[in-house]
């Protein structure tokens, strides 16, 4: 059966057919060495959509990986409940033991006693005329949390992968970090993962882990690494993407391998390359502008930030005075909040903008007058506050006041601004 495009380009799962090892980074070997070091917790940090989970799945067999999301942990004990759920450990276990003795008459009795190893147990005694007495005790034992996890997977090849550690509330992080320290010390291999700016959360939660944590930092992918995803993936489908197309995709991906996978997959859909080309020579992928626009638009459908962009575009509530509006070169008009979003979405695609860069971009998207510097600074600061207030679990907008840098840490947000058409709906 011919290989399908959906088997090759897999934005949301492990890329079996086009995994790219970032050899210059040495990430795979660093992770293997860290896991092989007894008593060491691995802290993996990197930008959103930079391939942290895929890296872990590359190094650790998925049969041995116990993935737990920090977003699902609201109480410290829930972590170990999730682990035991993954192991399919029953909520309770019935245990029993029997003793035989000699007596002179038949006896039958039932009752409850305390046994050192079984806790509260039901006891049954039966005797027979031959002098044999059998005493049977059965007890119900509940799960034992961390202690049971240590007993089950301590000093084994199983790896606990606690993803999105930063999503847990700070007070929960502290309790979980204490338990992780005990678990790691007793042989439970553990990896935590978080976005770059929260990569030290596990240490901040428990400073006693200092010296016991191996930090591995991922960066955005460079264009050569992203290009390899397309080269290997299309090659598996007996096809070859043109150099121009790969150049566009590596630029638009903004360092995200997941976004690169999405662009390649949508290319297969738009150009009807849904399974491997059966020709003698590779099929050359070189879409028309119309097809390229369709590919970019369809890819933006998987990067939906509509709610966030709506609140950013609206800005904070005004009291009495209406905001000044500006005309756009592409048509329509909007206030300074729309101007900043359009400036961030302009060519060339970027994830971070200096104050001067943002001013220049704002001037280019406006037809005539554009916002002054003080207005741009105030707007960037307000946008960061709005994003934090409305979407506290996501770091989508950041304004570094000391450096005057406007940052979009998530490549998917940048792509949505550029290609969803949402910013074209300005009056």
DSSP-derived letter for residue 391 is -
Overall size of the chain counted in residues: 427
DSSP 3-state assignment of 344?
helix
Q: pLDDT tens digit string along 130-154?
A: 666 766 666 666 888 899 999 999 9
84-to-71, 74, 81, 152, 202 alpha-carbon distances in Å: 17, 16, 5, 9, 22
Interacting residues of 353 by C-beta distance below 8 A, sequence separation 6+? 343, 344, 361, 405, 406, 407
161 φ, ψ to 5°? -115, 105
Dihedral sign (CA 340, 346, 348, 350): positive
Structure-token pair, residue 272: 């009807």
Q: Is 358 exposed, middle or buried (0-12, 13-18, 19+ CB in 10 A)?
A: buried
pLDDT at 122: 58
- Cα 51 → chain centroid: 8
- Cα 97 → chain centroid: 47
DSSP-derived letter for residue 284 is E
pLDDT at 15: 95
Q: pLDDT tens digit string along 254-313?
A: 999 999 999 999 999 999 999 999 988 999 999 999 999 999 999 999 888 999 999 999
Residues of the chain with pLDDT under 50: 105-107, 112-120
- The helix or strand, by DSSP H or E, that contains position 303, with its residue range, turns out to be none
| Neighbouring-strand partners of residue 111 | 123
pLDDT at 170: 84
pLDDT at 91: 80
Write down all domains in the chain, each with its CATH number in brackets: 27-87+146-217 (3.40.50.300), 92-142 (no CATH), 222-300 (1.10.8), 306-424 (no CATH)
Dihedral sign (CA 290, 296, 299, 305): negative
- 8 A C-beta contact, residue 259 and residue 252: yes
pLDDT at 97: 66
| Neighbouring-strand partners of residue 141 | 93
| Neighbouring-strand partners of residue 366 | 328
Structure-token pair, residue 275: 């399974």
Instruction: State the Cα–Cα distance between residues 38 and 23, nearest whole angstrom.
Output: 25
Structure-token pair, residue 54: 């895929």
The pTM of this model reads 0.81
Instruction: State the Cα–Cα distance between residues 199 and 50, nearest whole angstrom.
Output: 14
């Amino acid at each position: 059966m011919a290989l399908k495009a959906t088997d090759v380009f897999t934005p949301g799962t492990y890329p079996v057919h086009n995994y790219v090892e970032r050899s210059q980074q040495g990430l795979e070997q660093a992770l293997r060495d860290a896991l092989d070091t007894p008593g060491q917790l691995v802290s993996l940090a990197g930008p959103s959509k930079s391939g942290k989970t895929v890296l872990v799945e590359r190094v650790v067999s998925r049969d041995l990986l116990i993935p737990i999301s920090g977003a699902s942990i609201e109480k410290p004990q829930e972590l170990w409940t999730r682990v035991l759920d993954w192991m399919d450990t029953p909520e309770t276990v019935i245990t029993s033991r029997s003793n035989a003795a000699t007596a002179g008459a038949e006896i039958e009795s039932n009752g409850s006693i305390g046994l050192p190893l079984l806790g509260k147990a039901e006891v049954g005694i039966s005797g027979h005329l031959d002098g044999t007495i059998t005493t049977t005790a059965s007890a119900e034992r509940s799960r034992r949390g961390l202690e049971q996890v240590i007993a089950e997977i301590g000093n084994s090849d199983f790896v606990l992968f606690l993803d999105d550690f930063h999503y847990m509330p700070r007070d929960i992080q502290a309790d979980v970090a204490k338990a992780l320290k005990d678990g790691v010390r007793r042989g439970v291999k553990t990896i935590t993962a978080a976005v770059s700016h929260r990569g030290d959360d596990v240490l901040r939660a428990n400073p006693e882990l200092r010296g016991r944590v191996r930090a591995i930092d991922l960066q955005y992918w460079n264009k050569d690494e992203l290009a390899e995803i397309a080269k290997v993936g299309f090659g598996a489908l007996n096809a070859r993407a043109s150099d121009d197309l790969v150049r566009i995709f590596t630029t638009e991906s903004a360092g995200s391998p997941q976004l690169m996978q999405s662009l390649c997959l949508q290319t297969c859909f738009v150009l009807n390359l849904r399974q491997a080309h059966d020709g003698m020579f590779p099929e050359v992928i070189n879409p028309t502008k119309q097809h390229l626009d369709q590919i970019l638009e369809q890819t933006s459908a998987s990067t939906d930030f509509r709610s966030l962009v709506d609140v950013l575009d609206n800005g904070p509530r005004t009291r009495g005075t209406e905001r000044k509006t500006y005309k756009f070169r592409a048509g329509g008009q909007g206030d300074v909040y729309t101007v900043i979003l359009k400036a961030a979405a302009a060519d060339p695609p970027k994830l971070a903008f200096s104050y001067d860069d943002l001013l220049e971009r704002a001037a280019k998207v406006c037809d005539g007058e554009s916002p002054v510097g003080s207005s741009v600074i105030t707007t960037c600061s307000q946008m960061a506050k709005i994003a934090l207030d409305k979407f506290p679990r996501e770091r989508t907008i950041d304004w570094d006041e000391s450096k005057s840098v406007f940052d979009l840490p998530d490549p998917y947000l940048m792509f949505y601004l550029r290609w969803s058409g949402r910013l074209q709906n300005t009056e």
